[in-house]
Amino acid sequence: MSIILCIWDGWGKSLLKKNYHNAIELANTPYYDEMIKNCPHSYIGASGCHVGLSDGQMGNSEVGHMTIGAGRIILQKLPKINSLIENGNFFELPNFKLLLNRLINESTLSKSNNLFFNKKVLHIIAIMSDGGVHGHINHIIKIASFLSQNNIKIELHLFSDGRDTSPASAIEYALKIEELCYNNHNITIASIMGRYYGMDRDNRHDRTQKAFETISYGNINYSTNHQYTFEKITDYIKNSYNSGIYDEFIIPAARINYNGINKEEDLILCLNYRSDRIRQLLYALINHLGSNNIYTISDTGIDSINSNIILFPEVITDNLGKKISDLGLKQLRIAETEKYAHVTFFLNGGNENPYPNEDRILIPSPKIPYYDMQPEMSAEEITYTLIREMKSKKYHFICVNYANADMVGHTGNLDASIKACEILDKQLGKILKECNNSNYQLILTSDHGNIEEMFNYIENTKCTAHTSNNVPVIYYDNYFYRINQKNTEEYTDENFYDKKNIKIYKNIFNKYFIKNPSSGLSDIAKFIIEIINIKYEL
């Protein structure tokens, strides 16, 4: 008997008593409902301290998968960077000091006022948001302020959010950045754009190209022929709203007198600490500027700029994938493009390469502007691939991710989100049938909440962000599923079913998820490994 870990990305459990925008409850999900009724299940922590974030901080896909894979709580980048900045140790990190020295050592003395001004300009690229998933506005403010005190000329290139924050919250953040610039005359805003352009991760290079050209060439952006400029970003954002274009999709624009990056002199510092949504843009910038002049706050998985990382990440070597590999068992990871990095790189604790006996299958995500246009995404193809591999009985462990609930939930489209839930349930029915045929156990869970709350009742607007809700963990085995349905017929084929251990498995589930009041995503790997050790008498 083998195990499938099925992760429904963005599927949480809402605690709101009057939630008229809960796509899960509004959807017709008979297979999911039957599992909740008949299988051991619980709701576990996937945010805040359960995943190494600050209390109240919503979870996200990177943190969720990393915590699942690690089997323990890892202090995540946001609280780690916050702490280092607050105690001043961030500015003493070797590569930050190297960056500062490169900027200062190129300074020239102005004879008129005896002040130092720098030939080099530092271009800071960052998400302008307090969502905390990819970066944080506080990091922009505090790091830029520190550099400004050292007479560094800074140009800011800002991505508006609208996915991990409210769809029209960029004005609030832009006002803080304008205040930063007012108080520090050597800090200016060079460009603004929605994350749709600057943070694409699905190889939509037309979006990345617009972001790259706006940052690199400014108001002399020639190849895309879009002359979007601004004098004041708050005015530009307001005009964008008036045109029906909100934070995530704000069209790239440059300050009216910004002439781009000086390839011979300037340096770049990227403050987005999550790698998957910044790689495409960084690759384009590396091709243009070279790798030596680009610094990143954290690891991006790009080898050519690894030496310029400010805060080197913790690589988690004793993770779920490594343990399964060390046991000599075969494993498989399946996901579509949007979540492929999560079931590979992040689940493996930041290790890019597969372990021995680990195979990976990438299913392309559909090439559409917005996923509410196609809420099924690539779910059918994923299920077809999963069932084909289940039938082969080649693998002892399979991890599969379905992106629908998260990616469609981010659009704020309730009808499309309901459809996404129903599509997932349809896939679940197919998987359960094959679990019975091919003798697989199934663990169904999620990495964070999203689609269960599609409206912000406090702000009276669509909710496109993740939530801090718990997520389900459900353990399916055909034997106790039938027992709970009061069907006492037992399997006669001893090779088909491991009857002697089913009560043990259920007790292990109870230990980690029912009797443990602080259970979270980190307990999933422990549960899987303990079952595997019993199952294969290891």
Those residues whose C-beta lies under 8 Å from the C-beta of residue 363, and which sit 6 or more positions away, are: 334, 335, 336, 337, 378, 381, 382, 385
Q: Which residue, among 365, 361, 325, 328, has the nearest Cα to 344 in the 3D structure? A: 361
Those residues whose C-beta lies under 8 Å from the C-beta of residue 47, and which sit 6 or more positions away, are: 53, 56, 57, 58, 59, 448, 449, 466, 467, 468, 469
Binding site annotation covers 410? Answer: yes
Binding site annotation covers 139? Answer: no
Question: What stretch of H or E contains 528?
Answer: helix 522-535
Binding site annotation covers 303? Answer: no
Give the CA angle between residues 145, 148, 154 to the nearest 5°.
100
Binding site annotation covers 102? Answer: no
Binding site annotation covers 207? Answer: no
The residues with which 441 forms a beta bridge, in sequence order, are 3
Binding site annotation covers 9? Answer: yes
Binding site annotation covers 277? Answer: yes
Residues marked active site are found at 61
Contact 124, 156 (CB under 8 A): yes
The residues with which 124 forms a beta bridge, in sequence order, are 156, 269
| Residue appearing with tokens 């200062």 | 104
Binding site annotation covers 275? Answer: yes
Paired tokens of 442: 């199934």
Angle 414-438/30-38 helices, nearest 10 degrees?
60
Spell out the alpha helix ranges (H) of 393-496: 404-409, 414-438, 478-484
The residue count of the chain comes to 538
Q: How far apart are CA 416 and CA 409, in angstroms?
A: 8
Binding site annotation covers 145? Answer: no
The residues with which 128 forms a beta bridge, in sequence order, are 160
Binding site annotation covers 195? Answer: yes
Those residues whose C-beta lies under 8 Å from the C-beta of residue 457, and which sit 6 or more positions away, are: 16
Binding site annotation covers 54? Answer: no
For the stretch 323-352, what's the b/e string if a residue is b when 16 or more beta carbons lie within 10 angstroms of its beta carbon? bbbebebbbbbbbbbbbbbbbbbbbbbbbe
Name the binding residues for Mn(2+): 9, 61, 406, 410, 447-448, 466
Name the binding residues for substrate: 134, 163-164, 195, 201, 274-277, 339
Name the binding residues: 9, 61, 134, 163-164, 195, 201, 274-277, 339, 406, 410, 447-448, 466
